[in-house]
Amino acid sequence: MQRIALVYFVVALIETLTTKRRPLVLSPGHLSIFTAYRWQWIGGFIAFSFYMITTYSLYIPDWSFINHKEGKAYTVKCGMRGHLGPACNAVGYVDREILGINHLYKSPAWQHLKACTLSSPRSGPFREDAPGWCHANFEPEGLLSSISAILSGAIGIHYGHVLMHFKGHSQRLKQWLSMAIGLLVLAFLLHFSHAIPINKQLYTISYVCLTAGAAGVVFSGFYILIDVWGLRTPFLFLEWIGMNSMLIFVLGAQGILAAFINGWYYNNPNKTLVTWIKTHVFIDAWHSWNLGTLLYVIFAEITFYGVLAGILHKLGMYWKL
């Protein structure tokens, strides 16, 4: 939530302060929308530059910490710059120095790596030879990585500007898909050339390009189905979720509703209605933890929240600012 708030604040601030500096009508040309909203792109470029310069130029010294749960001290050897691995990246270093390691997330995704646990890619007990950084806290929504997310916001608002200024279906789709496909190509080039790997924890630029490009393709797909072909009814549940997006995010993405339901269990905390449905209806039926979990999210969680949002819509109940 904090990262979303920061990105929205920065993008909205630029949008508000530059209202009188952009034309009401775009000049002809495919790139006219970029020049009209150049201040938004300048803001995104500044965020991109700050992230890249800090990530690749900041010196990361050796660092130590105490795992209070284990009562054991660890030292991580670094002494380098520009490293994007779990141990010596600038994102973690900035958070440790400013926020303090004890204020960071205690169960980071790093702990699921093979170097940390034999249960990889799921969580499990640490290996006996697990490196020290496996036991350290790490903030996946930290300070430096949130700066990189501002570029995501700039790209997202560009999709909205296209919707405002271009009225024809073909014009809109040409703008969206050219941007989205270009971003996806750039993301895969950066990743598979090993220049900048796609990494959500560090919010690398390749990750920004991948998610922004994928969002553009998916958005264009829904636009074709709903606005061009007129297939609105099958997707009404998404409209309802969008009308109550804040409530659904808090209940679903933050796990509040699931935590409440899982508070009611039989014999032990692992025997709840949610875990029974997920395990027996999906995972056991497909004999795959990954596929079963994916199907559970699509056909159980999203369907449930779609129905909930639909009921709230019929009752005229919305949670908004």
pLDDT digits (tens, 9 = 90+) for 161-202: 999 999 899 999 999 999 999 999 999 999 999 999 999 999
43 and 67 part of one domain = no
Question: Who wins on pLDDT, 263 or 39?
Answer: 39
Contacts 24+ apart (CB under 8 A), 82-87: 82/55, 82/56, 82/57, 84/55, 84/196, 84/197, 84/199, 84/202, 84/204, 86/110, 86/113, 86/133, 86/134, 86/138, 86/201, 87/131, 87/132, 87/133
Q: Are residues 208 and 80 in the same domain?
A: no
The pLDDT of residue 276: 86
Quote the domain boundaries for residue 244.
235-315
- The pTM (predicted TM-score) of the whole model is 0.87
Q: Is the pLDDT of residue 255 over 80?
A: no
Q: How many domains does the chain have?
A: 3
The answer, yes or no, to whether residue 254 has pLDDT greater than 90, is no
DSSP assignments along 231-287, one per residue: --GGGHHHHHHHHTHHHHIIIIIT-HHHHHHHTSBSSSTT-BHHHHIIIIIIIHHHT
In this structure, is residue 185 part of a structural domain?
yes
The verdict on residue 34 lying in a domain is yes
Structural domain contains residue 105: yes
Q: Is residue 320 part of a domain?
A: no
Asked whether the predicted pLDDT for residue 264 surpasses 80, the reply is no
pLDDT, residue 289, reads 83
> Rounded mean pLDDT of 260-279?
80
With residue 123 as reference, give the H or E element that holds it. Answer: none
Answer yes or no: is 169 within a domain: yes
H-run or E-run covering 200:
none
Q: Which tokens belong to 191?
A: 């990743």
Q: Which of 29-33, 196-200, 233-237, 263-267 has the lowest mean pLDDT?
A: 263-267
Q: Is the pLDDT of residue 219 over 90?
A: yes
Q: Are residues 242 and 198 in the same domain?
A: no
Shared domain check, 180 and 41: yes
Q: How confident is the model at residue 28 (pLDDT cuts 50, 70, 90)?
A: confident
**Are both 19 and 124 inside the same structural domain?**
no
Residue 262 confidence (pLDDT) above 80: no
Residue 257 and residue 304 in contact, taking contact as beta carbons nearer than 8 Å: no
Residue-wise pLDDT tens digits, 64-108: 999 888 888 999 999 999 999 999 999 999 999 999 999 998 889
Q: Domain check: are 155 and 41 in the same one? A: yes
Residue 321 lies in a domain: no
Reported as a pLDDT band with limits 50, 70 and 90, residue 21 is confident
Q: What was the pLDDT predicted at 213?
A: 97
Looking at the predicted structure, is the pLDDT value of residue 148 above 80? yes
Q: Does the residue 294 lie in any domain?
A: yes
State the pLDDT at residue 67: 85
Say if residue 23's pLDDT is above 80.
Answer: no
Q: Are residues 64 and 107 in the same domain?
A: yes
pLDDT, mean of residues 34-39: 90
136 shares its domain with 281: no
Q: Across the chain, what does the average pLDDT equal?
A: 91
Looking at the structure, tell me whether residues 266 and 276 fall in a common domain.
yes
Collect all residues with Cβ–Cβ distance below 8 Å to 96 and sequence separation of at least 6: 63, 65, 104
